[in-house]
Amino acid sequence: MAIRWEDATRQNIQITAHRGIKDLIPENTIESFKAALDARCDVLEYDVHLSRDNVPVIMHDQTVERTTDGFGAISFMTLEEIKKLDAGIKFGEQFKGYRVPTFEETLDLFVSYDYKPLHIVEIKDFRPQCVDIVVEMLKKYDLVERTVIEAGDCPTLKYLQDYYPEFKTLSFMPYSMKRLDESIYDRLYGVSLPGSKTDPESVKKVLDGADFVEGKGLVLFLSGTTEEQMDNAINARCVNLTTNNLYKAQEYLAKKGLRK
């Protein structure tokens, strides 16, 4: 049976594989995505930038140093240059030779799974042309209903809402957004809150954020990988848990009776 966004509840928490299974396999690589999809994640999350020659590629950071053996801004590199980067070697010698995938390669893999998972596409390049290219490809693959598009920039989300209202949109809390325009919250699908910090002040901030999200009638996405982080997300009434270790989250939520 296909997975649907509306099936997520506090009693049936959907699990989002954050950049694949990034605790165990190099993030935002085909190998990490394949592992998450093989384990039947509900939702796959990844990040999109445009190369210098306007090809959408998968990477979280604006620069390539953290996750590859190269250096520089990804938007200043051609696809040919990006494909020469090793996206696994910094994670471990056994991952040597992993490459930065294109958006097209990622979508080819994603639609090959018959159980029809969902995905969150976070747009990291805030130029309208990036939005247009991403949306065009998602439509080509017939993925409108299975997609939530996320961005940390209000004008980017407003552009999506104005010109592509058929897509669900996801933001962060107002204090985390670039170029804040609170009108976007009137048309959002959901809000994503961080859950990595577990000190009392941070936990209270998450609970206050959950109240804000519920007050807006939006869907609450929260992150957590350790058991303490996941418990905090559950207590904050999330219906979607974004995690760096899919296997651990699947096992823990099943043990809690929060997976159907």
The residues annotated as belonging to the active site are: 18, 60
Given the structure tokens 């990036």, which residue do they identify?
130
Q: Rounded CA gap, 121 and 160, in Å?
A: 13
Going by C-alpha positions, the residue among 79, 61, 239 that lies closest to residue 148 is 239
Q: What is the DSSP string of 123-180?
A: E---SHHHHHHHHHHHHHTT-STTEEEE-SBHHHHHHHHHH-TTSEEEEE-GGG-BS-
Beta-carbon contacts of residue 246 (< 8 Å; ≥ 6 apart): 15, 17, 21, 35, 36, 39, 41
Distance of CA 44 to the CA centre of its chain: 7
Q: Rounded CA gap, 205 and 137, in Å?
A: 37
Tokens at 245, concatenated: 């270790």
Pairing of strands 118-123, 56-58: unpaired
Q: Rounded CA gap, 19 and 119, in Å?
A: 11
Integer angstrom CA distances of residue 155 from 41, 131, 151: 31, 11, 9
